[in-house]
Structure 1
Amino acid sequence: MLDDVKAGPRLALRAAEDRGTADHGWLKTAYSFSFADYYDPKNTHFEALRVINDDWIAGGKGFPMHPHQDFEIFSYVLEGSISHKDSMGNGSTVKAGGIQYMTAGSGVMHSEFNPSATDPMKLLQIWLIPATRGAKPRYEVMDLSPEDKDGKLALFISEDGRDGTIRTLAPAEVYAGTFDGDQKASLTLRDGRRGWIQVARGSVHVNGQKLTHGDGLAVLDPGEVSIHDGEDAEIVVFDLKQLS
């Protein structure tokens, strides 16, 4: 349940312990929004943000070939690496710090596996709802170095693909950052925009609200989002068009 925590801009917490979970042995996951067998009518999506799955995948395991359509899907790799193959003929392995991105569009098949026989892999799997349906499928990868996001918010997905970022068909822009000690950063949400901050590891404060691993925080109004007082924190930040 999203719980209001303070005003100006209004914030709403999606606490880690309130997420749905699944344990398949080889896959341990937590769902911020309704997914698969987990359904929460109060948490089906947030604007164009449809899925945030916090996945742990055992060595040599993964998802065999399966279809997607009309979603913008990306994996944000935290530990280990992920190998991808798809019906467009793409194949790649993305290591920690990397992003693999796919426009499913009119339809695509793909598989994702942990290529290590022994080491587990951790990632955030994220789906965005595109503004247009039936687009031509495409696949792209990107690396963010530790320096790119050290104490700052690094834009890596944008609606116009500016500055070498991945272009998305969703009404969204996505940043990543790592914060520790006195490092600070801020993002100003324009009129008609909302935000979501997902903590991938560690802990951090957002506008005075402390968040820990797995927490999500919705920013319900335009205004300044201040990131501060992190402890080995890594976050993904979404700047989303308000759809309703």
Structure 2
Amino acid sequence: MLKKLPKENMGRSDLGWLESRFHFSFAEYYNPKNMNFGVLRVVNDDIIHPMSGFDTHRHRDMEIVSYVVSGEISHRDSMGNTETLKRGEVQYLSAGDGISHSEHNWHKSEDLRLLQIWILPPRQGLDRLYGSYRFKEKDRKNKLLNIVSSQGGGAKIKLYQDVNFYVSELDAAKILDFRVKDDRQIYFVQIEGSSSVNGIRLDYGDAMEIADEGLLQIEALTPSHFMLIEMPKEA
């Protein structure tokens, strides 16, 4: 099953300082038929304009990954962490019983674009986690880079949930294959450029739900930047 999700059909919001595309029901985009895909609850494609951002707010019992596409994100939280991350770098937290944090774009002229991804934890009340990793472009250039895994996985970033995040930047005409296990499903996000996934074209901002496919052939139709989120298959 390959279900293409055109960006034109997604939820949208423009608050002036923040422009968002919502892959799933979120904020003012309420759609009870589009609440999640397996353990994936939120994918927000956010553009934060200069000298603005999310002031201090609280999360609990959610695992959150922020993937920077362009610009710089400055983070501060109630655990004492402060840092600024750039393109291809990743921030994560497992909020447990509660973490307060803020996220801003303090650049005076450049927009910040990032994917904010929320994963449902395997249970409530888990210990809090926070961290980041500064991946390099060469790590994902013309190959799949596993940036997030479960605690038992091999990625630099480890969540509690049984998930794997992969990213890649493919040169035009390059092809990658990805084998999907029988008990797994995938959410594919076309971040930049265009790809063909098993013959179906995805352009900038599009997504795809994938289940019951043993092999994915991903071809870059243009220089292509994408993410795969692999997780247990829904019953």
The answer to whether TM tops 0.5 is: yes
| Unaligned residue ranges in structure 2 (runs of 5+) | none
Alignment of 1:85 with 2:80, yes or no, is no
How far apart are the structure 2 equivalents of 1:172 and 1:63?
26
Give the aligned partner of residue 48 of structure 1. 39
Deviations 1:175-214 (A, max 9, x none): 0001122211121111211011101111111111100011
Give the one of 87, 108, 111 matched to 1:117.
108
| Unaligned residue ranges in structure 1 (runs of 5+) | 1-9
Whether the 8 Å CA contact 1:179–1:204 is kept in 2: the answer is: no
Give the aligned partner of residue 28 of structure 2. 37
SS at match of 2:21: strand
Query: Matches of residues 129-168 of structure 1 in structure 2 within 5 Å?
Result: 129-160=120-151, 162-168=153-159
Alignment of 1:202 with 2:199, yes or no, is no
Q: Which deviates the most, 156-165 or 43-52?
A: 156-165
Report sequence identity in percent: 36
Q: Which amino acid aligns with 1:114?
A: N
How far apart are the structure 1 equivalents of 2:157 and 2:220?
29
SS at match of 2:193: strand
Query: Matches of residues 1-244 of structure 1 in structure 2 within 5 Å?
Result: 10-160=1-151, 162-244=153-235
Distance of aligned partners of 1:193 and 1:182 in 2 relative to their CA distance in 1, 3 Å threshold: same
Deviations 1:74-121 (A, max 9, x none): 111011110111111111111111001111111110100002122111
Consecutive aligned runs of 4 or more in structure 1 exceeding 2 Å deviation: 160-164
How far apart are the structure 2 equivalents of 1:186 and 1:70?
34
TM-score by length of 1: 0.93
How far apart are the structure 1 equivalents of 2:192 and 2:111?
16
TM-score by length of 2: 0.96
**Structure 1 residue 33: Cα displacement:** 0.3
Deviations 1:20-49 (A, max 9, x none): 000011100100000011111221110011
How far apart are the structure 2 equivalents of 1:62 and 1:184?
37
**Structure 1 residue 161: Cα displacement:** 5.4
Q: Which deviates the most, 25-34 or 131-140?
A: 131-140
**Structure 1 residue 164: Cα displacement:** 4.7
Q: Which deviates the most, 179-188 or 191-200?
A: 179-188
Q: Which amino acid aligns with 1:46?
A: F
SS at match of 1:144: coil
